[in-house]
Structure 1
Amino acid sequence: MQERSMNKKNIGSTLFFLILLLFAGFIVYDRHQTESSTAVVSTIKEDKINFFYRDDCKDCKKVFNQVYMHNFFHRDIEFINLNQEKNRKYIDEYNIHTVPTFIYKNKAYVGTDKTHLSKFLKGETDE
């Protein structure tokens, strides 16, 4: 009887671990797909934080996990890869000089400081 109980616990633990592993794999895959996306953004969504980045930019890569995870829970970020030629029109339109650049309504944050970025993503800007 005790052996059966132990076997059920092992099966339950193994099943939990496999589900957790599957979920982690999905997040890694989705994060990579999001970062390397060359989707054309036809209109800027004013109700979202617009994240202008390049998928080959080392500074963008420094903050991408933080931005992705924030968006995973809040769904309030529009990812705009400026390596997509058709998205480059936003460089002049929003006066973007460097990436990563974050724009939300009339506020912008440019940089990789994770503390400042966290405040910006939460709407706690100092301006």
Structure 2
Amino acid sequence: MKTKKRKVSKTQSFNLKEYFTWKMILNFGLGFSLIIGAFIYVSPDLSAQAQNNRPVNIQSDMKGTFFYNPDCASCKKAYPAIFWHNFLHMANHKEQIQVVNVAYSGNQHFINEYAITKTPTMVVKGQHLTSDNGKQLVKFTDKGGQHG
């Protein structure tokens, strides 16, 4: 038995160009970029507000310890560099920087224990660096507590 080939008219055929125009792709790309951009912009701030609102134990196997107060303007300026450093090193615990919110009552004892005079302060191997420059704090950590 022979089957007849059915002719499909142009109106019935699938035309990829009709479904995926450059304009549609561009609009999708711009929308996606805006969403990702908003996430990148907002993530560190949300993390700074929510992180360590509980007592923490200092983990000596981490690269350094960042003491901050989420209401401190200098801490807000420095925090994104720490956030993204940890994000990029999330697979390697020893390369991460521990973040300690000293505004939380359960963590305020670290102020005296680590001689924190102001925030933000990075402590690496007993060495302190207080700065609102997050990149400088990360660099200090990468150099094992050496200034410069």
TM-score range, shorter chain: 0.7 to 0.9
Larger helix proportion, structure 1 or 2? Answer: 1
Which residue type is aligned with residue 63 of structure 1?
A
Q: 1:101 aligns with which of 111, 117, 121?
A: 121
Q: Kindly name which structure, 1 or 2, has the bigger radius of gyration based on alpha carbons.
A: 2
TM-score w.r.t. the length of structure 2 is 0.68
Distance 1:118 1:42, change over 3 A: closer
Q: 1:12 aligns with which of 16, 25, 33?
A: 25
Q: List gaps (5 residues or longer) in structure 2.
A: 1-16, 91-95
- Considering only aligned residues, what root-mean-square deviation do their CA atoms show, in Å? 2.6
Q: 2:102 aligns with which of 67, 74, 82?
A: 82
Residue 47 of structure 1 is matched in structure 2 by 61
Deviation at 1:113, TM superposition (A): 4.3
User: Is the Cα contact below 8 Å between 1:54 and 1:99 reproduced in 2?
Assistant: yes
Residue 23 of structure 1 is matched in structure 2 by 36
Q: List gaps (5 residues or longer) in structure 1.
A: none
- Percent identity for Structure 1 against Structure 2: 24
Greater Cα offset, 54-63 or 32-41: 32-41
Aligned equivalents of 2:99, 2:29: Cα separation in 1: 32
Which residue type is aligned with residue 35 of structure 1?
A
Aligned equivalents of 1:41, 1:8: Cα separation in 2: 54
